[in-house]
Amino acid sequence: MMNKMQIKTLEEYHEKYALSVSDPEYFWGEIASEFQWVKKWDKVLEWNFTEPDVKWFQGAQLNITENMLDRHLEKRGNKLALIWEPNDPKQRFVRYTYRELYEQVCVFANALKAQGVEKGDRVCIYMPMIPELAISMMACARIGAIHSVIFAGFSANALSDRIEDAQAKLVITTDGLNRGPKQIPLKRVLDEALENNTCVEKVIVYDCLGWFPYMKEGRDIWWADVVAGQEKKCKPEVMNSEDSLFILYTSGSTGKPKGVVHTCGGYMVYTTYSFQNVYQYQESDVFWCTADVGWITGHSYIVYGPLLSGATTVMFEGIPTYPDAGRFWQIIDKYGVNQFLTAPTAIRSLMACGEDHVLSYSLDSLKVIGTVGEPINEEAWKWYYQHIGKGRCPVVDNWWQTETGGIMISGIGNISPMKPTFAGYPLPGIQPVLLNQEGKEIGGPDEEGYLCIKFPWPSILRTTYGDHERCRINYFSHYDGYYFTGDGAKRDENGMYRIIGRIDDVINVSGHRFGTAEIENAINTSNLVVESAVVGYPHPVKGQSIYAFVVCDHEISEENRDFTRGEIIETVAAEIGKIAVPEKIQFVSGLPKTRSGKIMRRILRKIAEGDISNLGDTSTLLDPLVVDEIVENAL
């Protein structure tokens, strides 16, 4: 199956795309036929965006882990499936073949059943980036339990909210985790989260650090004890195509958590298809995505997409700057990584560390380099292309969301053209449109609009867990007949898309709309700037003015502040125009970010507006102290 789905030329891309629009049921039916089904579907697609109600491969039955593991055993049983690189480079790495991973998943699936977990039960997974995290996910899928991975950086309150919302029967965790030079007591955080919990019956604890955490009698049990004596075979539960596979809570949610639900059949088909095409994966390649499995990127492009494709996938426990800023590049050379995917935030932070950390490594194995999570600015794109890709590797800039399940708009390996700051073309089967405020489609080039999708794709979210009305309101009520992405975008004369930023991150200055990414991209072209974040704040004449929070490559002294501000103003004026020049520029040592690297502009907007009494929970940020510093020095 490895290359049957793959597009080989730009001409073939256009042919496949045209077919996917003219006859989507035939198109997706052909792709789905490459998988192993217990029972084939009666109907490929049934849908409406009003309720919304989307069903793919109706009547089909499968188990996704059979497609990830069992079907590879004959030809790829001894092939490396998963390579785990520890936080500490002196610690030994771990490798699993497909046969070994199959056995580990079956053993833990049997262990879960022995603890009373049944089809349809929810299991929350609160673990660091270790192989047992991926094994836990697949073990749940094997027996039909619905997994919900909760990022191991979340606080006890955030964790408690998600466990309660999912009404989880069991939680899987570790005693603690390694993160760079730090060690964090995960089990202690979970204990706090479960203080008033009534739904969790069992907690399985994996011994990661050799600590001895509190173990509640009758509830808590060690991983080693639950797997002892379990069989290495586990019959896969037969699932309907539209049965829930997992719940994933979107980051940065305010109030009640929003659990995005993905289902077995459609998610399987689309993550495999997008993985194989965007990265042009070949049989002997090694693929590495640096994301955390606590987010959708880790689900789709560390675990599901690669393993469904019979690929070798790398999982990294640590951070890009530990023990030094050459760690990413050292790992690429160590394993001969061919396709590499990381976030613009990581790229910018490594840029700031200089090229010396790159020059020690050859990076000759790389064939495709990707970026994901937010729009990448031009300076970071060029640095990535020149210093990491050596000017020969295509940069595939992925646009997609937790809710879409897989990559929607992107470059396709070395097949499609590249254009810095432009994500690229929609993948076959994806029908994006740009709408104006009245909901009319915008057809011309270089016009900005609201990015919406007018036709379903297999991995579209089906609901938000326990609250379908919330799903309808958030994603389908803005414009009748469209999935609303919440992003602004523009399209060039060749049909390539550039994501401008979230709609709520669009700043309207005297009737002129500017995406935050556009202004940040201009600011970041300054040689003095590492990264920036801009927000709008009320202005009595202009409606909104622009407030910029800027991180420089060195501390700006009082006497140099005016000079640096002047250079930034000149840069923005030259790149966009004087109307886009920030009225306030605050120099900061860092920006408030989630642990996945997403800038929390909501917090910055409150600070810019002077509403510092209502900043919300900052405990889950990568560095909560940054917020205090910004508030103290706010303009």
> Is 391 part of a structural domain of the chain?
no
Do 443 and 554 lie in one domain? The reply is no
Angstrom distance (rounded) from CA 529 to CA 546: 17
With respect to residue 539, please indicate whether it lies within any of the assigned structural domains. Answer: yes
Cα–Cα distances (Å) from 278 to 269, 361, 426, in that order, read 14, 25, 11
Would you say residue 362 lies in a domain? no
Q: Identify the pLDDT of residue 586.
A: 94
Residues 522, 482 share a domain: no
Q: Amino acid letter at 247?
A: I
DSSP character at residue 282: -
Answer with the residue of higher pLDDT: 19 or 560.
19
pLDDT tens digits along 306-322: 999 999 999 999 999 99
Which residue type is seen at 163?
A: I
Same domain, 113 and 214: yes
Name residue 286's beta-bridge partners. 312
Let me know whether 22 and 169 are in one domain.
yes
Within 10 Å of residue 82's Cβ, how many Cβ atoms?
Answer: 24
Residue 633 structure tokens: 């020095």
d(CA 22, CA 20): 6
Interstrand relation of 61-62 and 239-240 (parallel, antiparallel or unpaired):
antiparallel
What is the pairing mode between strands 122-126 and 286-289? unpaired
Give the count of domains, the chain: 2
Q: Does some domain include residue 461?
A: yes
Give the CATH number for residue 101: 3.40.50.12780
Name the band, by pLDDT with cuts 50, 70 and 90, for residue 553.
confident
How many angstroms separate the first and last alpha carbons of the chain?
A: 58
Confidence grade of residue 130 (pLDDT, cut at 50, 70, 90) = very high
Query: What pTM, to 2 d.p., does this model score?
Result: 0.85
Q: Residues 362-385: what's their mean pLDDT?
A: 93
Give the model confidence (pLDDT) of 145-190 as tens digits: 999 999 888 778 878 989 999 999 999 999 999 999 999 999 999 9
My answer on whether 272 and 188 are in the same domain is yes
Q: Which domain holds residue 594?
A: 510-632
Let me know whether 253 and 402 are in one domain: yes
Which pLDDT belongs to residue 556?
A: 84
Check whether residue 486 and residue 522 sit in a common domain: no
* 351 located within any domain: no
Weakest-pLDDT range from 76-90, 354-368, 565-579 = 565-579
Both tokens of residue 65?
A: 């882990």
Please check whether residue 497 lies inside any domain of the structure. no
pLDDT category, 510, cuts 50, 70, 90?
A: low
Q: Cβ contacts of residue 411 below 8 Å, gap of 6+? A: 278, 394, 395, 396, 397, 417, 418, 423, 424, 425
Q: Domain check: are 573 and 434 in the same one?
A: no
- The answer to whether residues 312 and 422 belong to one domain is yes
464/534 same-domain check: no
Helix H or strand E segment including 381:
helix 378-383
Q: What is the pLDDT of residues 596-635, one digit of tens each?
A: 677 888 899 999 999 888 787 777 788 888 999 999 999 8
pLDDT at 43 over 50: yes
CB 386 within 8 A of CB 354: no
3-class SS at 440?
Answer: coil
| 583 and 466 together in one domain | no
Q: What is the DSSP letter of 323?
A: S
Residues 278 and 166 reside in one and the same domain: yes
Average pLDDT over the chain reads 93
Return d(Cα 58, Cα 345) in angstroms, integer.
40
pLDDT in tens, 235-276: 999 999 999 999 999 853 344 678 999 999 999 999 999 999
CA pair distance 548, 534, nearest whole angstrom:
4
Nearest to residue 31, comparing CAs of 58, 72, 1, 52?
1
Q: What is the structure's pLDDT at 254?
A: 41
**Mean pLDDT within 414-439:** 95
The span from the CA of 200 to the CA of 351, in Å, is 44
Report yes or no on 126 lying in a domain: yes
Q: Which runs of consecutive H residues, i.e. helices, occur in 77-149? A: 98-114, 131-143
Cα-atom radius of gyration of the chain, to the nearest Å?
24
Distance, in Å, from the CA atom of 543 to the CA atom of 539, rounded to the nearest integer, reads 5
Residue 477 lies in a domain: yes
Please give the pLDDT value at position 275: 98
Give the CATH number of the domain where residue 626 resides. 3.30.300.30
Q: In what order do the strands lie in the sheet with 286-289?
A: 94-97, 80-85, 312-316, 286-289, 339-342, 368-371, 395-397
pLDDT at 153: 81
- Residue 323, pLDDT > 50, answer yes
For the record, the structure tokens of 513 come out as 């709309």
